[in-house]
Amino acid sequence: MCGFAGFVGDVEDREQVLVNMMNTIVHRGPDSEGRYVDEEAALGFRRLSIIDLSAVGDQPLYNEDRSMVLVFNGEIYNYQDLRKELVEAGHIFVSNTDSETLLHGYEEWGESLVDRLRGMYAFAIWDTKKKKLFVARDIFGIKPLYYAQMNGTLMFGSEIKSFLEHPKFDKVFNEAALGNYLSFQFVPTNETFFKGVFCLQPGHYFTYENGEMKITRYFEPHFTGDCKKSFEEIVEDVEHVMKESVEKHKISDVEVASYLSSGVDSSYLTYLGQVDHTFTVGFDEGKYSEIQDAKEFAASINMQNDAKVITPEEYWDKLPDIQYYMDEPVADPAAIALYFLSEEASKKVKVVLSGEGSDELFGGYNIYCEPLEHTAFNKIPMCIRRALGKFAERCLPRGVKGRGFLMRHGKTLEERYFANATNIFTEREASRLLKKGSEPGIQKVTRPLYERVKGKDPVTKMQYVDLHLWLVHDILMKGDKMGMANSLEVRVPFLDREVLELAETLPLDYKVRAPRTKVALRAAADKVIRSKTAEKKKLGFPIPIRVWLREEKYYNIVKQMFTSEAAKKFFHTDMLVKMLDEHKDGKNTNEKTDNSRKIWTVYIFLVWYDRFFEHGKPVHPAMNGR
């Protein structure tokens, strides 16, 4: 819907400072802007008009006596019900926006407002009488929210880049985050790569008053698995809750379209949404394109599909600008493909439905089958398996079949599983690669999460970890940032409070029956879409990085970055080049060694570092009067 930026604290020429901050996020809201400035606080807003297209819906919004000021990014899908309740309580509305519901809701219910919200949101309310700021983020983390306390000033907003325009912001690289990034392919905590900048975690809010911040967690998912209904009844419940969620997510005064791959998630949403337009991207690399399958599915349900073939040249050429829009490096190759997908969609619509979240809620990742398989091997005493795992890691060459299996099963689930990403650096590999080394940090991140689901089945544990790490810092990060880079709002009907309430009750057998995943969801989808699509194995977003890195052109591009002065600051560059050469030449095994994920993780970091700490920023078309 939009983006916002603001600060609390003294600074000269405060209105111009706010304008400069807002200009960095113009891509999030090219339709209009608004700002509030007083002696204590400044709140700026960029709007992408979706509900109530009139100027009355522009932000900041005020309550009746203008003592409270709101800026808000997102959509509240139950706002009509909340509005009715607030009107009956005597509140006077001046617009038809969902935004104003937050303002009057805070007046009526205070901080407990967040317990009533169904939607995606990040918002800030400034109480001019109490000189108090209230800031909240939705329960899944669909919408981003960052903050920094520096030099007597609190900065907050939708994107970190806005902080760089504030005179009291100290831009310092947070090298301590690099080790975990290499293992996770993203920063997995509330820290960021900018020292002193933090992301507010999902299901949290904070208050800021008299220079003091208080952070409160107001929501946590609880997977009980206590449903006693038959499988057929559960399938009906899934069908009902998804229909209702999609209906809510289509509330808009502009057209809503849908992303469409060849998988069950987007296909099911597209069918339920009955949208007019669907959008797909792929690569002209055979198995790396889902375009034909998507077109066939769209035709089977009489929907239009617009597809784009991404060339290797445009994919690589756009990387620096994409890293700027991302704010932080996320070494998921699908992030770049999402940029082009959202770019295509934005040519015709402002809002799309997307299938993020179904795997975390309904048990969809293929790796969730692993604890339920190989049960005979897992009966071998752990001391023996641990010895075999250490031998495989240290003695077997990368690429040898079975090496990864032995390494994973030489550890407990809590030791080995930290995110739905494979073939990234182990802690040992990361420490060797980094010049300053890296203290083990993976279990420092995951241990508190596993403690909260102690006693649950292994799939539920993995879901819980992914909900807090992979979903927030990879899936939703790239979904929001790549959509908003093209002034496109991405809505995710699977990540809905009522859908979650159902998913929390599903027993293991309704989620995963190895080798099948998302059992109940697939059964619901199979009732209305072709079984070929409903039962298709999870693919992710296929990107031919492995192939490109063996081509001379892209090998040389990466090698130049791997031997740059920036690379020498952080890495043993001889090891980087060796890793790159092994991938290109296929040394060490009869099969070609695949180091592509490791190479890409380092390369994306260096591209991002170059953009934010070495060179300038791109000019978005909206800044030139789009």
| Under 8 Å between Cβ of 495 and 356 | yes
User: Nearest-5° angle of CA 454, CA 459, CA 464?
Assistant: 60
Beta bridge partners of 119: 76
Question: What DSSP line would sit under 26-83, residue for residue?
Answer: GGG-BSEEEEEE-SSEEEEEEE---SS-SGGG-SSEE-TTS-EEEEEEEEETTHHHHH
Amino acid of residue 596: S
Chain mean position to CA 197:
18
Q: How many Cβ atoms sit within 10 Å of the Cβ of residue 599?
A: 23
> How many residues are recorded in the chain?
626
Check the CA dihedral 264-265-270-273 and report its sign. positive
Sign of the alpha-carbon dihedral angle for 75, 78, 80, 86: negative
Query: Catalytic site residue 199?
Result: no
Residue type (1 letter), 166: H
Rounded to the nearest 10°, the torsion over CA 418, 424, 428, 430 is -110
Strand pairing report for 61-62 and 68-76: antiparallel
Our measurement of the distance from residue 1's CA atom to the centroid of its chain's CA atoms, rounded to an integer in Å, reads 16
* Annotated active-site residue in 2, 199, 227, 369: 2
Residue 132, H or E segment: strand 132-137
CA quadruple 52, 54, 59, 63: dihedral sign: negative
φ/ψ of 413, rounded to 5, equals -55, -45
- Quick one: how many helices (H) and strands (E) in the chain? 28, 17
Sequence-separated (6 or more) residues with CB below 8 Å from residue 155: 5, 6, 7, 147, 148, 149, 162, 163, 166, 168, 169
How many whole angstroms separate alpha carbon 532 and alpha carbon 535? 6
Q: Which residues pair with 203 in a beta bridge?
A: none
SS3 at position 291: helix
The two beta strands, 489-491 and 351-353, are parallel
Three-class DSSP category at 199: strand
Token representation of residue 173: 């690289």
> 3-class DSSP state for residue 404?
helix
Q: Which two tokens stand for residue 183?
A: 């293992």
Catalytic positions: 2
